[in-house]
Structure formats: structure tokens, C-alpha cells
Structure 1
Amino acid sequence: MPLQNLKTTPRPHLLVSIHDVSPRTQPAVELLLDRLAARVPVTKVAMLVVPNHWGEAPILPGSPFATQLRDWAADGRDIFVHGWYHRDDSTHRSALHRVKAGFMTAREGEFLGLDACTSLSRMIDGKALVERIIERPAAGFIAPAWLYGEEARTALIRAGFALAEDHWRVWQPQCGTVLFRGPVITWASRSRARIASSLLAARALPQLLRSAPVIRVAVHPGDTHVPSLMNSIDRTLEYLARYRIISRYIDLASEAKA
């Protein structure tokens, strides 16, 4: 089993990612990279790229941002497609989806309510754009806020991505193989209550997950506006990096298949 293979490695792994990478967020992304560089090798930090953030920040081939994105890929970083707009404009008929859309994220779960045809179109278009710019395959697809509706999951099987991730697992969409499981350690900045709860979670989860073969840490551009979150990110990464190998998603996927 893939997970058993990972358990036999001498040291467990740490995966680090920056979400919501786009022309709109580039200054904050650069701040995050500078901060992360003190604790992890940033060439192993995955970049989750939004092709047209909120419909207001398209990535244009040949633009300075596109050049930067290509340079990040050339450095060896995993480049994931992270939705298309990121914003959720769906009308949710399911009560569960309405709760997820309103409580789990501030209308940022773009793929929660999309039909299969629209999901597939946005996935394919995002993949084509990102791969045209970075001149290599995208590492995979990760839905905004880690939220997928059933139709989006169906579309993902056909979209041709090697990897996908939600809040609880990383898997290969085309065959359904789960590579590893476990929650993501992440932070929320949109309210005082969410800041407080994410700070508590960031203190508890590294210890609770200590025996896990893989731990994932995800940071967002909005974290840079809250000093307490940035300090918590520093502490969490400093602790985890002491006993874990900082890895890339594609390396672990290759190892799990071996």
C-alpha cells in the first residue's frame, strides 16, 4: 500500500504550500516566500495558482507575473492549478453545500456547486494556461478551499491531472488511489474567532499528528496581514522541520508508487 511505503522511510515528510498565487496576491506571496525561506527550502514549497483571480487578475502569457511563475517552476517547485476564478458564484441547492459555502469559506469554494461540464471546462482551461506558461506539466489540481462538489469530483477524473488534494487526503484522480491521509495545518485570517481557532489548532495539530508519515502545511496571502498568524506559522514550521524531511508532492507521489 502507498501509505505503508511512506511509513518505512527513515524520517516522516513535511509538505508546504502557498495558496491563492496570482498577480493579485504577488506582493503577499513574495512576503510569504521570504518568511518561509528562514525555515524551509522554498524551492520545495508548492505554489497553488489561480488563473484569473476573482475574474479581475488574469495571468497573461508574457507578463511579468507569468515570467515569475515560469521561474518558480524552473526552480523545481510543484505548480498546482487552484481553480479558475477561486470565487464561488454558484447557487447552492443543498443545505450542506450552503453551510460549507458560508461557514467553511467566505464564498471562495468555486468548485463546490459547479456542474460537471463547467467544472471540466475550467479545469482543462486552467491546466492549459498554466502549462503553457511554465512549459511543463502542472503537478495537479487543488480546488479553492479544498471544496469539491460531486460533479466536480467526476470532472476531475477526466481532466488529466496527476494529483489532487482536499483537506483530508492527497490522491490520484484518474485511478482513485489515495497516497496519504490526514488534515492540513492551515490558518484563517477573516475574523477574530477564526484567527483564534486556527492559532489553537496550529499549537495542537503538530503534536497530535507527530506519528503521521506526512504532514501538510498550507499558508495564504491573507496570513501576512496578521502578525500573530505569521508568528504561529514560524513556530509551526520550525518545530516540524526539526524531525521531518521537507518534500515535494511529486516526489512523494513517485515514492508511493514505487
Structure 2
Amino acid sequence: MCARLVVSVHDVAPASAAETERWCADADRFGIPVSLLVIPGPWRGRRLADEPDYAACLRERRQAGDDVLVHGWSHRAGPEGDRPRRAVAHAVARGAAEFAAIDVGTATVKLRAATEVMIEAGLPTTGFTPPGWLASPGAKQALRAAGFTYTTSHFGAEQLRTGRRFHGFALSHRPGGGWSERFGAALLETAARRTAERGGLVRLALHPDDLSRPGLRDTTLRAIDAVLRTGAHAITYRQLVGSAVD
């Protein structure tokens, strides 16, 4: 069975335009598409709605074959949820798990705002990846009600209409220095190659902050190269979940 590779670029927003461009250029050199996870709301002092030129760049990427998904609203977790759920979300996503503990009403408001911005930017989509890959039951309910048709978690992608799941753990770096960063980088490269050799689904998640750490980009590029050398087919999340999202 031929392995499949999904490369996603996270935290796509005006404030990370340079980093996104660099990751996309790397993908272009491999000749593979990427799934762009867009933060439509305020993030690091800038908003997609205020920068139509950047929205135009994203439209060009999609027209060339990339996927576009909503990646939360502001990518910042609030005070919602009980203490254990907030603690887990903070440990996993470092304060970015915006949808991890919210109720259906709060999620509905955020999704409505995100959808309006994406439509106004000419980037309508029914794909959603929650920040930190964490979504509460209420958030999942709101996604379905809002018309989203596919989403992702740490463990794979899901068709929201049918419940069908596509299993594959999301591999990403954890910048911060020290042994954990080095161990994580080595694990990413090894796990990606071995999963591809078994014919599995390889998911590589690229973040703007990865580029601030020496060596992480090189490790990522080696991992992509190793996966492609096994004969893996590079696709987007929309292609992965297939026609059921239409």
C-alpha cells in the first residue's frame, strides 16, 4: 500500500506571512501541496480582514492546489472549561488551545466570525483544525451545525458528516531548546520515515516558530524527502477525506 503524506502549515496569518512563505517555498521545491491553516481573527496584532493583499496571496496558493482550513478564531485559549481540561490544554498547546474547553454557544460565535472573515477574503472553506488539535464536544457539535465537513486532531482527520476517520498521528516540532527539542526533532524524522515505509498516513505539521530554531527546518526537509523516497503520495487534507466533504 502506498503511503500518503499531508504537510500542513499552521498559524497562517498576516503576522506570520514571511514564515508561511518560506515553508510554502520549501514545499514547492518538492513539488507537493500543503494544507494552510488560517487564523482569521486577531493574532499577534494583525487581522486577515485588514490585509486584502495577503488574502490574495492565499487565494493564489489555493488556486495552485493547496488546501485552506480555518484554524480557530484568535488562536488563544480563554478561561472556559474546568481546571483539569484547561491544564491539559495548556500543557499540550501552550495557551493556544482555543477550542479545547468551550461550550457549543461560544464555539458557534467564534465559528460564525471566522466564516464571515474567510468568505469576505474569498477563502470560503469547510475544513477546520482546532488550535492544538484540541476540540471540546461542544466545539465538534458547533462545527457540524456551522456546515464544516472535515476536521483534524492529534490522531487523524475526520469527515464530520459520516464520522469516518483517517488515522495518522500529527508529527511536529516543539521549539524551546534543550533535550526535548532535540529528542522531538529526531523522533519526527524517524517516525515519518517508518510510517511511510509501512504504507501509513504521514502528517507533518509546520509552524512559524520552528524557523526560529537552528536545525528544525533542516530536519523537516529531511523527513519530507525520506517520506517521498518511499513512493508516498503527497495530498492535502481535503483530498484525504475525499468527495464526502463536497
TM-score by length of 2: 0.90
Cα pair distance change 1:134/1:61, threshold 3 Å = farther
User: Is residue 157–residue 237 contact of structure 2 (8 Å, CA) maintained in 1?
Assistant: no
Q: 1:22 aligns with which of 13, 16, 37?
A: 13
Structure 2: which 5+ runs fail to align? none
User: SS of the counterpart of 2:6?
Assistant: strand
| 1:59 positional shift | 0.9
Q: Which residue matches 1:3? A: none
1:235 maps onto 2:222 in alignment: yes
Q: 1:188 aligns with which of 174, 189, 201?
A: 174
Cα shift readout 1:170-206 (whole Å, capped 9, x = no counterpart): 111133222x112012111134344123213213312
Distance 2:218 2:114 in 1: 33
Q: Which residue matches 1:52? A: 41
User: Is residue 15–residue 248 contact of structure 1 (8 Å, CA) maintained in 2?
Assistant: yes
1:123 maps onto 2:111 in alignment: yes
User: Is residue 72–residue 114 contact of structure 2 (8 Å, CA) maintained in 1?
Assistant: yes
Q: Which residue matches 2:188? A: 202
Distance 1:118 1:55 in 2: 22
User: Is residue 100–residue 134 contact of structure 2 (8 Å, CA) maintained in 1?
Assistant: yes
User: SS of the counterpart of 1:205?
Assistant: helix
User: Is residue 10–residue 208 contact of structure 2 (8 Å, CA) maintained in 1?
Assistant: yes
User: SS of the counterpart of 2:171?
Assistant: strand
| 1:54 positional shift | 3.0
Q: Which residue matches 1:77? A: 66
Q: Which structure 2 residues correspond to residues 1-258 of structure 1 after superposition, within 5 A? A: 11-41=2-32, 44-54=33-43, 56-60=45-49, 63-95=52-84, 97-134=85-122, 137-178=124-165, 180-209=166-195, 210-242=197-229, 243-254=231-242
The CA RMSD over aligned residues, in Å, is: 2.1
| 1:72 positional shift | 1.6
User: SS of the counterpart of 1:70?
Assistant: helix
Cα shift readout 1:51-74 (whole Å, capped 9, x = no counterpart): 124373211266211211222222
| 1:224 positional shift | 0.9
Distance 2:152 2:216 in 1: 23
User: SS of the counterpart of 1:250?
Assistant: helix
User: SS of the counterpart of 1:38?
Assistant: helix
Cα pair distance change 1:186/1:40, threshold 3 Å = farther
User: SS of the counterpart of 1:216?
Assistant: strand
For 1:63, give the aligned amino acid: P
For 1:16, give the aligned amino acid: V
Cα pair distance change 1:238/1:30, threshold 3 Å = same
Displaced runs of 4+ in structure 1, greater than 6 A?
none
Larger displacement relative to structure 2 (124-133 or 107-116) = 124-133
User: SS of the counterpart of 2:102?
Assistant: coil
Cα pair distance change 1:60/1:177, threshold 3 Å = same
Cα pair distance change 1:203/1:12, threshold 3 Å = closer
Cα pair distance change 1:71/1:197, threshold 3 Å = same
User: Is residue 19–residue 48 contact of structure 1 (8 Å, CA) maintained in 2?
Assistant: yes
Distance 2:29 2:88 in 1: 35
| 1:129 positional shift | 1.9
Distance 1:171 1:248 in 2: 13
User: SS of the counterpart of 1:14?
Assistant: strand
User: Is residue 24–residue 53 contact of structure 1 (8 Å, CA) maintained in 2?
Assistant: no
In the alignment of these two chains, the number of paired residues is 243
Distance 2:29 2:136 in 1: 37
